[in-house]
A and B are shown apart, each in its own frame.
Chain A
Amino acid sequence: MNFTLVIAFSLSIYIAGIVAVIRLKKINKVYYPFLISIWLGCLSELVNSLLAEKNLNSYTNINLYILFETLLIVLFFRNLGLFQFQKKLFYTIIGGLIAGWIIENIIVKQIDTIAIYFTIYSSLIIVLLSVTILNKLIVSSRRTFITNPVFLLCIAFIIYFTYQVMVYAFWIYAPQSDASFLLKIFSIMIYINLLTNLIYALAVLWMHKKQEFTLPS
């Protein structure tokens, strides 16, 4: 795949980032952790592009971004009321994520290498939490799902992180000596990333200041 196109696809996060900046005053604070994760994504993609241009290792940036992105998404889920009755579970997940990141990136390996196991682990957690939020939404929401930002975000999370788990799982078993083959495996994520970023932008467009009243679930 053309390098310019890869960069252009990865920078598609800027669409959601810019929409979020423009609409910030009209968006409820519940969504703020997600918006921060988008802006972090913009920053991370920019840093990655600059490092790639200079042929420098970008894994440190990627590993840090994955950790903060996951923590912010879990925080966003907490704002949506996911851990209302299970506050301990929230701290357990946060603690587990930080511990997992430290074990793989500092104790077992170096921070400037690919953290496959932590990525699979954090992606699985986000997919499971997204499914739980979707189930809550099905019970409590009487509003059409197509214009519901929480529904769109959960779908985007499920798509992106499920594919991420799959690609990284294959990565583990692929021959590590052939770099071009590893990149080919990873090229699937470029299209998934583009799709997810477009869904993010759509979701940000549907975010409102006023939270609609719904039944508890």
Chain B
Amino acid sequence: MDAQETRIYTAIISTSLVLGIIIIYFIISIIRHQRRNIELHKKNILAEITQIEKERARIAADLHDDLGPLLSAVKMKINTFELTDPDDQIEIEKTNKHIDDILKRIREISFDLMPNTLLRKGLVKAVKEFVDYLSNTSKISFNFNFDDDIKINEQRSINLYRIVQETIHNTIKHAQATQVDIDLRAVNNNLVLTLTDNGIGFDYSRESKESIGFGLRSLLSRTEIMKGHMYLESKKGKGTTYTFEIPI
């Protein structure tokens, strides 16, 4: 190499080294910032969801323990009236009917907000109860399969229950499905929850890129705070499968 070539070669080597350092710094800083961002995001979501769940439990307890007995007492009080006028008796019967409807609705709302079964008997029983209730009130038939020996703590149970609840609500609302299969298994240190429907499905790649609804965001947030992964497979006319993999 002559002097000019040596100068050019030195310039190339120097530039290569500088470029290499810049790229390495770029990669390391991206990875570090993304890690911090994930941690911060998870903390925020966890705080938000914990707050929401506390509030739900409080409202459910207030409805179930305060408002319910109060209405029952009102009903009992009304029934103690000794009325002779048949019109008044008809009115009392109507009022009784209204109070019964209100009590039923209060129980439903309270159950929706925080089912007692979930806290007392765990996730599997609560999902079973939820699915049985929906089988009687909707046109969808549910098939729930699970491993008997799954042990999940209360916080995760609540999150998984909400995931099942939200997914099924989505299915009822949008999928026009007649069959939903729910599967809860422990696979290789992961809890795998799969919900499959036979509904109309949707073009996930197109619709998810445009905007995703509050429901799907909520599913993703709950999955993330459990350090899990969420997968969604759907095609038009071929139903939808939601898969949640949560480390045990």
Contacts and interface: CB of A to CB of B under 8 A. Distances in A.
Contacts of A173: 8
Given A166-B16, A174-B8, A81 B209 contact: yes
A181 interface: yes
A142 B224 contact: yes
B38 A142 contact: yes
B217 A215 contact: yes
Contact of A159 (B23, B33, B209, B233): B23
Given A210-B233, A213-B232, A181 B9 contact: yes
Nearest to B45: A142
Contacts of A159: 23
A106 interface: no
A164 B33 CA distance: 28
B153 interface: no
A20 B28 CA distance: 27
A144 B35 contact: yes
Contacts of B1: 178, 181, 184
A114 to B, nearest CB: 17
Interface residues of A, number: 33
B231 A216 contact: no
Q: Is the interface of B mostly helix, strand, loop or mixed?
A: helix
A211 B41 CA distance: 21
B230 A213 contact: yes
A78 B19 CA distance: 28
Interface residues of B, number: 38
Nearest to A182: B5
A163 interface: yes
A166 B12 CA distance: 8
Most buried by A among B5, B11, B230: B5
A210 B19 CA distance: 36
A212 B230 contact: yes
Contacts of A158: 23, 26
Most buried by B among A142, A163, A215: A142
B57 to A, nearest CB: 27
23 contacts: A134-B30, A138-B33, A138-B34, A138-B37, A144-B35, A144-B38, A145-B31, A166-B16, A166-B19, A170-B12, A173-B8, A174-B8, A175-B4, A178-B1, A181-B5, A184-B1, A185-B8, A185-B9, A188-B12, A188-B13, A210-B243, A212-B229, A213-B220
Interface of A: 81, 84, 134, 138, 141-146, 155, 158-159, 162-163, 166-167, 170, 173-175, 178, 181, 184-185, 188, 210-216
Q: Across the A-B interface, give the 3 residue pairs with the lowest CB-CB distance, nearest first.
A: A213-B230, A210-B231, A213-B232
